[in-house]
Amino acid sequence: RKEVEQDPGPFNVPEGATVAFNCTYSNSASQSFFWYRQDCRKEPKLLMSVYSSGNEDGRFTAQLNRASQYISLLIRDSKLSDSATYLCVVNLRAGTASKLTFGTGTRLQVTL
């Protein structure tokens, strides 16, 4: 079983649609959680951190369910510029180490 699993997509949605991505992680001791965005052939960019209580940043809402080891990202009112690959990322901390474990990403294509 992969440490972080995501549906690879692609998700093809029209502008203005609401789209949701899900992610599961296998290590119950995981400490912190993030969504990154990666455009084609570019570096991952931090989209938002995910808090236990859930958090919202404009059109983006992230949720964390520790009991189910499940993370979600909701994008409302999709824009063409939202087209990218969305990476679910988990911080597996052991001692002083702080390495990130990435899912393979969910590809989103927003169309006119």
Partner 1 sequence: NAGVMQNPRHLVRRRGQEARLRCSPMKGHSHVYWYRQLPEEGLKFMVYLQKENIIDESGMPKERFSAEFPKEGPSILRIQQVVRGDSAAYFCASSPRIVAGGLNEQFFGPGTRLTVL
| Binding stretches for partner 1 (CB under 8 A) | 31-32, 34, 41-46, 49, 87, 91, 93-94, 96-105
Residue whose CB is less far from partner 1, 11 or 86: 86
**Is 67 or 94 the residue whose CB approaches partner 1 more closely?**
94
Query: In the bound complex, what is the minimum distance in angstroms from residue 44's beta carbon to partner 1?
Result: 5
Instruction: Extract the tokens encoding 15.
Output: 């502008």
Adjacent-strand bridge partners of 61:
56, 74
Q: Quote the DSSP letter at residue 26.
A: S
Least gap, CB of 46 to partner 1 (angstroms): 6
Q: Which is nearer to partner 1, 28 or 112 (CB)?
A: 28
For the bound state, the minimum distance from the C-beta of residue 95 to partner 1, rounded and expressed in Å, comes to 8
Q: Assign residue 14 a region: left if phi > 0, alpha if psi is -120 to 50, beta otherwise?
A: beta
Measured CA to CA, the distance from residue 7 to residue 99 in angstroms comes to: 22
Nearest Cα to Cα of residue 12 among 82, 63, 70? 82
Q: Which of residues 79 and 93 has its CB atom nearest to partner 1 in the complex?
A: 93
